[in-house]
Amino acid sequence: VTSFATLYGRRLYLNMVAGGFKNDLAALNDATPHDKRYARLTEYTSVMKCLLSGRAPLNFEGEFYQIHQLTMIPALPPELFPGILVSGSSEAGLATAQETGATAIEYPQPAAQYDGSSRRNGMAAGIRVGIIARQKEGEAWQIAIDRFPEDRKGTLTHQLAMKASDSVWHKTLSAIAAEGQGNNTYWLRPFETYKSFCPYLVGSYDHVAEELANYIGLGYHTFILDIPPTEEELQHIRVVFDLASESQKAWQ
C-alpha cells in the first residue's frame, strides 16, 4: 500500500478476505471455524489500519496477533489511506465491518426480496454484481446468453465448489437459483456455471437502472462490478448508473 502511494500517488482499496473454501484452508492446515476466521480478520485489519495511519511504534496484544514496536516505512500520506472492504453476507462479516469501519460488501438477492429492514445499523454497504445492459431488452439478453451459454461442466464444477465452501453468500445465491427466486433482470447463470461469483443484472437500460436504483434506496452505495470484457461494455454500464442516479434524485 505504501509502495503504491510512494510510486504513483494513488489511493488503493483493500478487500479483506477471511477465506471460505475448506479445501484451501485444509491445505494450509487451518481448521479455524468460520466466525473465528472473521474475528482473526478483525485483528489483522485493525493492526494494518494502525500501521498505515502512522501510529508508530505499534504494540498490539490480541488473540491471534502480537506486535511489538513495529513501524511502517515509508509513512503513508493521510489522503491516500486505503478504502477497506469486507464481506458482509454473514453476521460475523458484518461484525468485522462494524468494528473496523470497513464497507460491508454483499452478493445481493433481488432488490424486491429485501423487506426494508437492515442488518447494517448505518454501516457503509455495497454489493457485487455483473451488468449487461443495452437500449433494447432483447439485445442485452442475446449478448448475455452468448457470453454465458449453458455449460454442463461448469455446473458440475459449481456444485463441487458448493460442497467445499462454508461461505454464507455462496449458499444464499445457490438457494435463490435452486428455488427460481430471481426476476426478469436478476440472472444467476454465470454463477451457476462457475463463470462468476456474483449475480448479473441483464436487460434494457431502464430496467437495469431501476433495479440499481432500488439497491441504492436500500442503502447500498458502493458497487463492485464483475469485470467488463471491453471498454465499450463499461460505457453501457455507465449509462445505467447515470439513469439510476437520476432516478434516486427524483425520489428524494
DSSP 167: -
With cut-offs at 50, 70 and 90, classify the pLDDT of residue 120.
low
DSSP for 1-43 reads: -HHHHHHH----EEEE----BHHHHHHTT----HHHHHHHHHH
**Contact 132/144 with Cβ under 8 angstroms?**
yes
**Contact 200/132 with Cβ under 8 angstroms?**
yes
**Contact 166/22 with Cβ under 8 angstroms?**
yes
Residue-wise pLDDT tens digits, 23-79? 788 888 888 888 999 999 999 999 999 999 987 789 999 999 999 999 888 889 999
C-alpha cell at 146: 452468448
Residue-wise pLDDT tens digits, 210-248? 999 999 999 999 999 999 999 999 999 999 999 999 886
**Contact 133/140 with Cβ under 8 angstroms?**
yes
Share of the chain above pLDDT 70, in %: 87
pTM: 0.83
Average model confidence (pLDDT) for the chain? 88
DSSP 193: T
Asked if the bond preceding 78 is cis, omega within 30° of 0, the reply is: no
Q: Residue 231's CB: how many other CB atoms inside 10 A?
A: 7
C-alpha cell at 220: 447500498
pLDDT of residue 165: 66
Q: Tell me if residue 149 falls in helix, strand or coil.
A: coil
Q: Residue 130's CB: how many other CB atoms inside 10 A?
A: 23
Residue 171 has pLDDT above 70, yes or no: no
Q: How far is CA 246 from the centre of its chain?
A: 24
Residue 182 has pLDDT above 70, yes or no: no
Residues 148, 179: Cα–Cα separation, whole Å? 20
Contacts for 162 with CB less than 8 Å, ≥ 6 apart: 170, 171, 174
